[in-house]
Amino acid sequence: MSIRVHNADQFEELRQGAIRESSSPRSRSSLTSSTRHSFGGSPLGSDSPVTRTSLTSDLLRETHQKRMAMKHELYMKEQDARQKKLTDSIAENLQKQKTRKEAQYMKLWQDVDEGKTLAEELRARLQLQDESRQRQSQRMYDEWSSEVFHRLNDPVHDKVQAMDSKALNQHRHEAYQRFLDITNKKGGLFRDIIIESEYNPLNDIKSLQYRANVDDPVKRVIRRREEEDRIASEGSTRRSTTQELGRSDNLDIQLWSQGVFESTPYGYFHKMMNSQPNADSSKTYASRVSFDHYNIEMGAEAVNRELPKGKRTNFDGYKIPKTTIELK
C-alpha cells in the first residue's frame, strides 16, 4: 500500500513518536496485561509464542490506527489549506473585480467630465461668435444709419417740414377742381389715354427729389465684386479691340499666300493630311482596321483572314497515319 505524504517532516515526526510509544515498557506491560486478561492467563508464561503473536498483532493494529489517524490529520490539514487558498483566491478575485469596476466607473466619469468641459468650451465659443456677429451687425446698422439713412432722410424731411400746409391744401383743391371741370365737360376720362392739350393729371404731381452719393455698407461686398469685374472686363476689352473679327485661332490672312502657308503649323498639318501612303513607308503606321461602318466586308475570305487556322507542330520521329484526315 502506497501513502502520499505532503509534509514529510511532520510525517516523520509522527512516525518516530508512534515507534517510541510502541517500544516503551509501559505500553508493553499494558499490552501484556490486556492479553492475559483476554486469554485468561497463559500457563506457558510471558515468553510463549501465542503471547508474542498477540502482542505483535496488537502492535500492528495500533500502529495502523495511528497511521490512519495521521493520514486523516494530514488530509484534514491539506483540505484546510486548500479551503483557505480557495477562499483567499475568491476574495482576491472579488477585490480585483471590484477594483476593475471602480476603475471603469472612474474612467466613464472622467469621460463625462471631459464631455462637460468640451460642451462648456463650445458653448463659450458659440456665445463669443454670436456676440461678435451681433456687434458686427450693430456696427453695420450704425454705419448705415449715419452714412445712408440720415443723409437721405434728413434733407427730404427738412423740405417736407418747410412746406406750407395751407398752400398744399390750396393746390390739392385746385387740382381736384380741374378734374371735376374736365369730367363735366367731356363726360368721362380714360386712364390709358391722356390728351395733354386738354387735361394732364401728371402736371399736378410734384415730388421731392434729392440725390447724394452714399457708401452703403450692406452692398459693400457686392460693389467690390462689381469693381473687380469691371476692371477685368476693361482688360479683356482692351485686348479684344486689338484683334480682328472672327475666331482667335483662325489663320491670319497675310499667311495665305503661296510659299508662306507651307511654313506654318497649318501648312504642315495640311500637307500631312493630304499625303498618300506609299509602299516604301514604314509599316509601323500601317493599319488593317476599317472605319467604314456602312460597307462591311463579309464572306469566307474575310473570316479566314481575321481568324486564320493555327500552325501545325511537326514532331521529329512522328508520322501522320494514313487514316488521319487532314483539312487544307
- DSSP of 46-105, one letter per residue? TT-HHHHHHHHHHHHHHHHHHHHHHHHHHHHHHHHHHHHHHHHHHHHHHHHHHHHHHHHH
* Res. 2: pLDDT tops 80: no
In this structure, what C-alpha cell is assigned to residue 168? 398744399
Q: Hey, what's the cell of 60? A: 500492528
Question: Crossing angle, helix 25-39 and helix 49-144, to 10 degrees?
Answer: 120
Burial 217-251 (b: 16+ CB within 10 A, else e): beeeeeeeeeeeeeeeeeeeeeeeeeeeeeeeeee
Instruction: Give 3-state DSSP helix, strand, coil % of the chain, rounded to 5.
Output: 65, 0, 35
Does the structure show a pLDDT above 80 at 322?
no
Distance CA 301, CA 322 (A): 30
| 203 band by pLDDT with thresholds 50, 70 and 90 | confident
Name the 3-class secondary structure at 115.
helix
Gap between the Cα atoms of 202 and 179, Å rounded? 12
pLDDT in tens, 25-67: 554 455 445 444 444 444 444 455 667 777 788 888 888 888 8
User: Which pLDDT score, from 0 to 100, does residue 58 have?
Assistant: 83
Kindly report which listed range (69-73, 89-93, 116-120, 314-318) carries the lowest average pLDDT score: 314-318
Spatial contact of 328 and 304, defined as CB atoms under 8 Å apart:
no
**In the structure grid, which three cell numbers stand for residue 61, read together?**
493494529
Long-range contacts of residues 240-246, Cβ cutoff 8 Å, at least 24 apart = none
Domain ranges of the chain: 163-206
Q: Where are the beta strands (DSSP E) in the chain?
A: none
Cα–Cα distance measured from residue 201 to residue 186, given in angstroms and rounded to the nearest whole number: 15
Portion of the chain with pLDDT greater than 70, in percent? 76
pLDDT tens digit sequence for 158-167: 988 888 888 8
Grid cell listed for 164: 406750407
Separation between Cα atoms, residue 182 and residue 200, nearest integer Å? 10
| CA neighbor of 206 nearest in space, from 248, 171, 176 | 171
